[in-house]
Structure 1
């Protein structure tokens, strides 16, 4: 039995295979090189990418070699998968900046020392292609009729699919072909929304090189209602501490639904499965202990042990018996803020993303200042609101921020 495949299936990673039996035999008999692609559409990865990196890390621990393919070339076109609208076009400079930032984040999860893993950028081969040569060499192997039945295009056809995006599948298929040729890369892993693109690569290699290649997709991170996880009031749950603070990151996992705890522990931590099942089976008040373990373990992986400990202490100070608020996300302002509308102050300091969101919170009774509900949109922030040098803002049930006045 292929131990790693059994473990990945037990943890709930695997959604689909191109060739299940052959994949099992291959992973039993040799250590392979595989790849996962990441399009650098932002200067940070988010939780949706984190599951793919955990997938990679499990494979690497079992002795297989990962290639993290950064899509410096494909990002110039934009992936239509799972999108109803065309993505925003990025400049070359933006893409290069994003690639450099993402590289740094990956090194926390994957060991790149001594060639144990590689980071490559498809800009190296895609940006200098001759279009006519590419069409003759690669385009001839793709059936338009078949492409139009792919899930990633179906959604976009209703609104209008640009020819630019239609090329994406050929480019991703070509990536796998290049990696197979250059690095003997035999397998592509990726999110289940990439299934059509992954099949394209497997078939291209088999047609052009007559070599065997394989693909496995990873389940997407969804909650028990089937909605994508990792969305917050402020947008995506980013891995960059500047975009999502370690405290907010910790709180997100501390507050997941009871039904999602076991799945998240299995996919997003390295805890042994017997411990995952034990924690996942806890009921009622006890499930909160499992959520604390989940929040701590995931935050430790992404932000390191010190930040995880700080976030845990801050959370306990607010919700437990402690009263040390020093680790709660804090903004520092000057005395000139006195007399300013509270909502304006919260938008300016990025405590809330917009005035509209602030009004919604006030209408729903979800904004408090020092434990008192804010009921008036025009409520001003005053000197009396500052107790012992700071004011405590609470958004919704469990999101806290401190405003320190210097």
Structure 2
């Protein structure tokens, strides 16, 4: 393939900022916090231990979680010590949503998902050196506690009046469905997590999304009441698109970090399709490019938006970080080959399937004629139109121009599995072996 190869930015913080707090603010990653001046001072000083929690409510993390993982990584690069918490116990309960009760998943499912999320988080952090990351599971300190112990030793520090004022709880209480005691108690469990991590690891900072602010401050309040100590928290903003639509979804589906749930091709295309109005903010949040590099790309967007240099850089950086450089290059090469700029025969089957996942795929018998395959694919409406397209030189299979429509499609299957049909320059479909 002749596609230009690139190298992702090295993971390091930008030395042009006075400290990590200033960089986090410039990247738009601070929406709300406890005492900002004190927090900046702490982060500019000796290494501290900090954490972020992830609940196993699905078998994979998604782009919203990636924001938090990258905050963990940026703070680690500043010398601090991350704890990645996967909620084996809180995942059994479920964080209250804005509307409606969660469906409680079976224990064995939650246990499996804990393992999957843990392995995903581990890929982004370093587990070596003086500030090596550690993974923790809150089931370790909750499983052995009886209900009476929990109510006596932890529950007594919580005030119901304060709990019902939390934004999500208040909305649910005002709804027709209300909120169960199970989900109402979630904030107590999360607060207890912070207390235990403070006790076990001297953890003094929790990060999370701003929609979790009520839960984050539950932990800081509990530590103040129980231990008489002040600790910190800050929340990142919820990311939305400039047009007001929800970020992190493509055609209604979440963009997962698991390549089986969201192929590297779909992942790459999601970033490539970022609007001009959003791309610079996305570069700040999701890449390790420096301020100078991002400002240069901002000029490109302003002066040469048609080149989409910022989008291509964003797509490369994030896809390479999540799926690796090799898979990212495969996606780029396959995308180019789809439209005649490379040999589709050189694309491995897994990548080919991920690319064709965005196309109309029709199953056909090996003995189906090319004319019939073009009709079945929907690229043409009739046999006569298919023959006319072939006669006019506008029909291609695997980028080969077709002259004989009576040949069988089976002669063209790549990996004995798929054939890529093209009408004209950009109308694509796939034929799969039945």
Where on the TM-score scale, by shorter chain, does this alignment land: which range?
A: 0.7 to 0.9
Once residues 207 and 305 of structure 1 are traced to their aligned partners in structure 2, the CA distance between those partners, rounded to angstroms, is: 48
Identify if the C-alpha distance between structure 1 residues 220 and 386 changes in structure 2 by more than 3 Å, giving closer, same or farther.
Answer: farther
Please give the root-mean-square deviation of Cα atoms over the aligned residues, in Å: 2.8
Q: Equivalent of 1:163, from 181, 186, 189?
A: 181
Q: Is residue 83 of structure 2 the alignment partner of residue 64 of structure 1? A: no
Alpha-carbon deviation of 1:30?
1.5
C-alpha change, 1:400 and 1:295, in structure 2 (3 Å) is farther
Given that 1:370 and 1:391 are in contact with CA atoms closer than 8 Å, whether structure 2 keeps it comes out as no
Per-residue CA deviation, residues 141-197 of structure 1 (Å, 9 max, x unaligned), is 222122111112122221310011010000000000000000000000001110000
SS in 2 for 1:45: coil
CA shift for structure 1 position 289 = 1.7
- Over 3 Å counting, the alpha-carbon distance change for 1:99 and 1:217 in structure 2 is same
| Cα distance between partner residues in 2 of 1:50 and 1:79 | 18
Structure-2-length-normalised TM-score: 0.77
2:291 aligned partner? 273
Residue 383 (structure 1) shift:
9.1
Q: Is the 8 A contact 1:369 1:391 kept in 2?
A: no
Aligned residue number for residue 85 of structure 1:
100
Q: Say whether residues 1:151 and 2:167 are aligned partners.
A: yes
Alignment: residue pair count: 366
Match of 1:322 among 338, 341, 356: 341
> Counterpart of 2:32?
16
Unaligned runs of 5+ in 1: 340-367, 375-381
Deviations 1:119-145 (A, max 9, x none): 000011122222122112222222212
94, 112, 122: which is aligned to 1:97?
A: 112
Residues 55, 90 of structure 2: 8 Å contact kept: yes
Asked if 1:252 corresponds to 2:270, the answer is yes
Q: Is the 8 A contact 2:48 2:204 kept in 1?
A: yes
The answer for the alignment partner of 1:199 in structure 2 is: 217
SS in 1 for 2:31: strand
Q: What's the CA shift for 1:239?
A: 0.7
Cα distance, 1:373 vs structure 2: 8.0
Q: Which residue of structure 2 aligns with residue 378 of structure 1?
A: none
Counterpart pick for 2:333 among 307, 313, 317: 313
The correspondence for 1:300, drawn from 295, 320, 326, is 320
Structure showing greater Rg: 2
> Equivalents in 2 of 1:291, 1:206: separation in Å?
45
Contact in 2 for aligned 1:370/1:385 (Cα 8 Å): no
CA distance, structure 2, for counterparts of residue 74 and residue 399 of structure 1: 48
CA shift for structure 1 position 42 = 1.4
Q: How does 1:324-343 map to 2 (within 5 A)?
A: 324-325=343-344, 326=347, 327-328=351-352, 329=354, 330=356
Q: Does 1:211 align with 2:229?
A: yes
Given candidates 186, 205, 219, the residue that maps to 1:187 is 205
Contact 1:40-1:98 within 8 A present in 2 as well: yes
1:337 Cα offset (Å) = 9.0
**Counterpart Cα distance in 2 of 1:126 and 1:373:** 63
| Cα 1:126/1:336, change in 2 over 3 Å | farther
Using the alignment, how far apart are the partners of 1:373 and 1:4 within structure 2?
59
Q: Where does 1:348-387 land on structure 2 (aligned, <5 Å)? A: 369=377, 371-372=379-380
CA distance in 1: counterparts of 2:110 and 2:248, whole angstroms:
23
Q: Residues 54 and 5 of structure 1: is their aligned pair in 2 closer, same or farther, counting only changes over 3 Å?
A: same
Are the equivalent residues in 1 in contact too, given 2:268–2:319 (CA < 8 A)?
yes
Q: Is the 8 A contact 2:268 2:328 kept in 1?
A: yes
The CA distance in 2 between the partners of 1:42 and 1:180, in whole Å, is 28
- Where does residue 433 of structure 2 map in the other structure? 405
Corresponding position of 2:6? none
Query: Quick one: which of 20, 41, 49 aligns to 1:4?
Result: 20
Q: Which digits, 9 at most, give the CA deviation of each residue in 1:347-395, with x for residues without a partner?
A: xxxxxxxxxxxxxxxxxxxxx9475589xxxxxxx9977783345489x
Does the CA-based 8 Å contact 2:50-2:81 persist in structure 1? Answer: yes
**Residue of 406, 412, 426 corresponding to 1:388:** 412
Pick closer, same or farther for the CA change 1:401–1:99 going to 2, 3 Å.
Answer: farther
Question: Distance between the aligned counterparts of 1:336 and 1:234, measured in 2?
Answer: 33
- After superposition, the Cα gap between the structure-2 partners of 1:371 and 1:65, relative to the gap in structure 1 and judged at 3 Å, is farther
**Structure 2, unaligned stretches of length 5 or more?**
1-16, 369-375, 383-405
